[in-house]
């Protein structure tokens, strides 16, 4: 991923990963612990989840404090 000169938390990186792995946008969730992760996911048109954090000025689709919550959400979405 870094071979293209992009780092984590950048919209361009997310787009490269989605294209490279042919991920369906409607089934892709960006999970991050920084505001930049949420902004990058939103900029790429994806749903976002903020892990263990809160930042002024961002509104992720989901917020979780431990990964078990995220697994429960994924299981519900698949049901």
* Domain range annotation of the chain: 2-78
> What pLDDT is recorded for position 6?
54
- Whether residue 2 is predicted with pLDDT greater than 80 in this model: the reply is no
pTM value is 0.78
Percent of the chain beyond pLDDT 90?
A: 38
Among candidates 46, 69, 16, which has minimal Cα distance to 38? 46
**What's the fold here for domain 2-78?**
Rossmann fold (3.40.50)
Summarised one tens digit per residue, pLDDT across range 27-48 is 899 999 888 889 999 999 999 9
């Amino acid at each position: 991923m870094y071979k293209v000169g992009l780092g984590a938390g950048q919209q361009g990186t997310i787009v490269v990963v989605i294209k490279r792995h042919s991920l369906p946008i409607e089934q892709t969730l960006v999970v991050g612990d920084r505001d930049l992760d949420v902004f990058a996911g939103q900029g790429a048109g994806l749903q976002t989840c903020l892990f263990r954090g809160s930042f002024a000025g961002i509104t992720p689709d989901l917020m979780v404090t431990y990964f078990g919550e995220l697994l429960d959400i994924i299981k519900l979405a698949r049901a």
